[in-house]
A and B are shown apart, each in its own frame.
Chain A
Amino acid sequence: MNTAATTTTDEHADSHDHEHHDPRLAHHFDSHQQQFDTGKLGIWLFLVTEVLFFSGLFGFYAVYRSLHPEVFLYASQFLDTVLGAANTVVLLFSSLTMAWGVRCAQLGQTRGLLVCLVTTLACAAIFLGVKSFEYTEKAHHGLLWAGMYQSPEHHEADAAAAPAAEHGETAEHAHTAAADHGDESLFEKTKHTLSYMTTVLWVVIVLAGIAFGVFIKKPGKMTLATVAGCVLISAFGMMLGTYASIGYHHFGHAEKPTDEEIQMAETVPAEYAKQKEKVPEPALAGTFFSVYFCMTGLHAIHIIGGMIAISWLIVRTVHGAFTTYYFGAVDFVGLYWHLVDLIWIYLFPLLYLIN
């Protein structure tokens, strides 16, 4: 690759100069080793703050689960374990490619690094795609946080009251259901917000792309093309994730639907419709979804942050910024990415696997 060749010539040019003219070494460090160790300690301390940041949410979870176990037992049935497990594997795979990417960076394999980073970015996007489908589905059924929560029992009663409703016009059902509570506009707004989540994510990523263009020192054609490529990969990954989960959802839940079930499926979650004998809904069922949205939402924000960081790495890799003695940035973003994975490793059983 051309960039690799440029890198080596740079190195030779540098070796004639004074050590402080090395553009990869900040002026206040003596050696690359010191610069790397400093950055490494810095990123680990940052991860410390991240762990404590999330500890607040884990505290939220622990307190409410230990005080109201029945709520968690009841409400977690509405989460799709298969989608959750699939997302776990996607994220684990992205962790693998990230770790592999760090290895490539350490060995100076620019092309391998690029492939690994792009794969990681795509996996992150697929994860978000699946997540946005899950959010939309929850919102569709009114399974929102405590203040917005709408009981499936309520939907059922609603469906029974209006049996003539046509298929596909679910919005109307939600509409009537919400109207009963007098907070129709707020409910609708929330639903729309979540439904268009993907759009918002795209906007964020496009904006980040523009920011790259502005902040990179020499915004050349290659930079812009790389940024555009990152945006495309993200968008494509998210669409892949979303459509895959939609496909799975239809395949998994609508295999042999009876008329009654089809009618029910439009208004109540499939899990609820399948229940043989209806478990009575415990009080405060919405609290589970508060926990769910807070934890996965904050995690998703971290994923987006990671995607931006990985795109930045891709741009720098294309420019041949990383060498065998200067790969700190890859390592540090990698550590951050593994931590995001780590948090998901705990979130998955805590939220999806309650029996």
Chain B
Amino acid sequence: MSDHAESGSHAENTQSCHVHIVPVKVLIGVFLVLVALTVVTVEAAKYDTGELDVIVSMAIATVKASLVVFIFMHLWYDKPLNKIAFFISIIFAAFFLCMILLDSHAYDAYVKGFQQDKTPTVAPAATAPAPAAAPAPAEAVALPAKK
């Protein structure tokens, strides 16, 4: 802030704009931490920790993301409204993800069962670019009927 006061000393009333200025040392420090975390996440991925893998890599990514958001994007020093706006977007995205994950897992059994009944070899058909008219539309219609 003091930096700004010096350079903007001759600014008039309407010609002033008070913002937080991040020192260079902090910027470079954050960058070095980010690079270090990238190396850590690459190394961590080499060890097979099973289920934990996703959690570890996502946790590291979230730490990195927070650094970028709070320091590089100044959100830490920003108005509360901007913080709220950003976190609402994260909450809504998370909510959307949770709902579709919850639901697609719930009806996955129907889909798998249907595929086994109908087309036992669905995979190699993946190379056919144009979906054949025959089996494709049938699924959506048949699904509710199976219940």
Contact = CB atoms under 8 A, between A and B. Distances in A.
- Tell whether any CB of A sits under 8 Å from a CB of B in the complex: yes
Interface of A: 11, 14-15, 19, 22, 25, 30-33, 36-37, 40-41, 44-45, 47-49, 51-52, 54-55, 58-59, 62-63, 66-67, 81, 85, 88-89, 92-93, 95-96, 98-100, 103, 106-108, 146-151, 181, 183, 186, 282-286, 324-327, 331, 334-335, 338-339, 341-342, 345-346, 348-350, 353-355
18 contacts: A22-B14, A31-B13, A52-B93, A55-B97, A59-B101, A67-B104, A96-B72, A98-B72, A100-B24, A103-B24, A107-B7, A282-B123, A325-B8, A325-B17, A326-B17, A345-B68, A348-B61, A349-B58
B140 to A, nearest CB: 17
B51 to A, nearest CB: 10
A349 B129 contact: no
A103 B27 contact: yes
Interface residues of B, number: 67
Nearest to A29: B14
A149 B73 contact: no
A327 B16 CA distance: 11
Which secondary structure characterizes the binding site on chain A? helix
A89 B35 contact: yes
Contacts of B90: 51
B85 A107 contact: no
Nearest to A182: B128
Contacts, number: 189
Contacts of A81: 42, 45
Nearest to B33: A92
A62 B96 CA distance: 11
Contact of B61 (A25, A149, A339, A349): A349
B129 A147 contact: yes
A349 B45 contact: yes
Interface of B: 3-4, 7-8, 10-19, 21-22, 24, 27-28, 30-31, 34-35, 38-39, 41-42, 45-48, 53, 57-58, 60-61, 64-65, 68-69, 71-73, 78-79, 81-82, 85-86, 88-90, 92-93, 96-97, 100-101, 104-105, 108, 122-123, 126-129
A221 B101 CA distance: 56
Contacts of B105: 66-67
A228 B3 CA distance: 35
Contact of A62 (B4, B12, B15, B97): B97
Given A51-B93, A63-B101, A32 B17 contact: yes
**Minimum-distance CB pairs A-B, first 8:** A283-B123, A55-B93, A349-B57, A353-B45, A48-B89, A96-B31, A31-B14, A51-B89
Contacts of A335: 73
A183 B71 CA distance: 50
B14 to A, nearest CB: 4
Nearest to B73: A338
Contacts of B47: 355
Nearest to A19: B14
Given A15-B12, A335-B73, A348-B38, 16 more contacts: A11-B15, A44-B86, A51-B86, A52-B93, A62-B100, A66-B104, A81-B45, A89-B35, A92-B35, A98-B72, A103-B27, A151-B127, A338-B73, A349-B60, A349-B61, A354-B45
A174 B97 CA distance: 38
Nearest to A12: B10
A106 B2 CA distance: 12
A107 B129 contact: no
